[in-house]
Every structure is written in C-alpha cells, then in structure tokens.
Amino acid sequence: DYELCEEWGHLYPVAREDLIDLHRDHLLHLLEMGEMEKALQLLQRIEDPGVCLAISEQCLDQHPSLAASHFLADYLTAHFYASLTTARRNEIQALYIGSKVLLTLPELSRVNYIHLSSRPLLMLEQLLMNMKVDWVAVAVQTLHQLLAGREIGFTVEDIDNLLSKYAEKALNFPFTLKEKRS
C-alpha cells in the first residue's frame, strides 16, 4: 500500500506534509520489520533533501526499536551532519553510540538499559553500579573506538574519570579493623 501511495504521489500533486507523513510511516514500517536495505532504498528515492531530513528526524523522535534508532542515527550523521544544529548533532551521535553499546550487551539484558540509549555515560555508570564488570569492559572498548575523532558532549577522559571514581569507591571500606587484644 505504501508503494502504491508513493506512485500516486508521483502522478498527482500531494501536499508536502502528507508526503512526509506517508514516507515516515513507510520508513518506520520497514525499520520495524527489519528491512534496513529497503529502508535505505526508500530514503534514497526521496529527491528533496529537506523532506528526507524531516522524515528521518521524525522517525528518530518516535523512539523506534534499538536497531531502527541505530540505523536512523547513522543515516542522519552520514548524510545530514552539516544540516544539523550542534545540539541536535550531539544528541544523534550520543544515540548512535549508546545504541552501539547496547548492541554489545547480551540480548536479554538490553531491555534493562534501553532507556539510557541516548546517554552512554549514564549507561556505563549504571553497568558499573550493577557490577557488570565484563559488560563494562566491552562497553568501554566500544566507546573508545567510537569516540575517536567525534564530539558528542563527552570524551574518553570523562569515561576514564568515571571508571576511576568507581574504582576508588570499590576500594573504600566503610569500617575500621579492630585490633585483637590478648
């Protein structure tokens, strides 16, 4: 039905807002079905870059699934980086990095951290507080790779400071040892 509506839009004049709504719904449908290649083809068929940007941002703002959010954040960063404000750029890149970190976690555990997908540092802190040390190791390695040359509101130093803070807390003993008297 979406493709029929798209063909209809080529034959008859359709209001820009209606066209955006059509493509947005179609794109969300494809992403939720896991059809990433078809979603990319749909975005490439849209001739007006402004319409394409609007559709991609609206889809991302609807908080689709983890894989869909990752796809949209990657697409927006790759194709519309210069068109985005600095704040929006940082937000999208943080979501991209957060979704990438989430994808490194075991599948059944992702649901516990998905609400933090746009805040990778907070996700890392939550993993540390939950004592998921093995997951933290993979997450930190992923973050170090992804942060190379990117500005998203935090740096590798912020990650190192967070790790140092929790390492210090792990060594802090709240009680004193009593001496045994004979």
From first to last of its 182 residues, the chain has per-residue pLDDT tens of 877 777 777 778 888 888 889 889 999 999 999 899 999 998 998 888 998 999 999 999 888 888 899 999 999 989 998 888 888 888 888 888 888 999 899 989 888 998 888 898 999 999 988 888 899 999 999 888 888 766 677 888 888 888 888 888 777 766 666 666 65
Q: Which one-letter amino acid corresponds to residue 154?
A: F
Residue 4 is predicted with a pLDDT of 79
C-alpha 29/C-alpha 158 separation (Å) is 37
Residue 73 is predicted with a pLDDT of 92
pLDDT in tens, 67-98: 899 999 999 989 998 888 888 888 888 888 88
Q: Is the separation of the CB atoms in 47 and 10 below 8 Å?
A: no
CA angle 67, 72, 73 (to 5 degrees): 100
pTM: predicted TM-score of the whole model, two decimal places: 0.76
pLDDT in tens, 147-159: 876 667 788 888 8
Residue entry with tokens 């140092």: 164
Percent of the chain with pLDDT over 70: 92
Spell out the domain ranges in the chain.
1-84, 88-171
C-alpha 71/C-alpha 69 separation (Å) is 5
